[in-house]
Amino acid sequence: MDHLYGNVQGNKTDERHRGPASQTTVSTKALIPLLIVGLALLFSLAALGTMTYLYANKRSDEQKKYALLEARYKNLSADLNDTVLRFGLLDAQHMDLLATLNDSTKCGCRVCPEGWIHHRGKCYLFPSSKKNWEQSRDHCITLGGHLAIVNDKQEQDFLVAKSNQVSHWIGLNDLAVEGQWRWVDSSSLSDTKAVFWFDRSHLNGTDEPDNWKKEDPSGENCGCISFRGDWHDNSCKMMKKFVCETLATY
């Protein structure tokens, strides 16, 4: 009996000792899901924080871009307003020019082609290139004019002033008959009664035209305004600047 009682007591003792261990195991197992949930929440919070940070940075970049676009818009608006203002001024100037042109047409005023200089109803062109006399004559013809014809002292003074002390061909020559000087329109030099040959009498020399043949055996058969402002006969082969002339148009 004692033996049986001892076994029973021993079994009860073992059961009492196993009870708390079993409870600890159960409690640990119950904590695992909580731990997983906690970790999930922690990762979620970390992800949320990262997303919040990225969103804040992106929003900051967008705000900077917006500010830049807004500044550009303001600059473009200012440029547009300035362009509109300038256009208005140009349009007003255009209308003034049209009115002036209409007035000049009504009053009979004469105008010249672009680049030509108006003087007393005629237009004059002083090309920058140099040509011989025949090339100069032909070039003026292609432009709708002719080499300049000097009719009086006022025209001579005008050409001299515009020549800037540089020799220029004019439309005077004696190519047909030596000594009979004519203009390119076939009129005689005596018809214009305007003669401005260089006078060497005070130098005890020969006056112009002298038909000097030392440089050109064919002589000097073309007239020019010299750098001094008087007339010289020169070899027609010489390269010089020249003056074209045409009538101004209404």
d(CA 208, CA 219): 13
Q: Give me the amino acid identity at 65.
A: K
pLDDT in tens, 178-203: 999 999 999 999 887 789 999 987 77
Residue closest to 145 by CA, chosen among 190, 112, 101, 173 = 112
Q: Omega into 209 within 30° of 0, i.e. cis?
A: yes
CATH for 117-247, among 3.10.100.10, 1.10.1740.10, 3.40.1180.10, 3.40.120.10? Answer: 3.10.100.10
pTM: 0.57
Beta-ladder partners of 235: none
Pairing of strands 241-242, 168-173: parallel
pLDDT in tens, 197-214: 999 877 767 888 989 888
- Give per-10-residue mean pLDDT for the chain (250 aa): 45 47 59 79 82 81 85 88 87 78 60 93 96 98 97 95 96 95 93 87 80 89 95 96 94
Where are the chain's structural domains? 1-109, 117-247
pLDDT in tens, 145-177: 999 999 999 999 999 999 999 999 999 999 999
d(CA 151, CA 193): 7
Please tell me the predicted confidence (pLDDT) of residue 18. Answer: 47
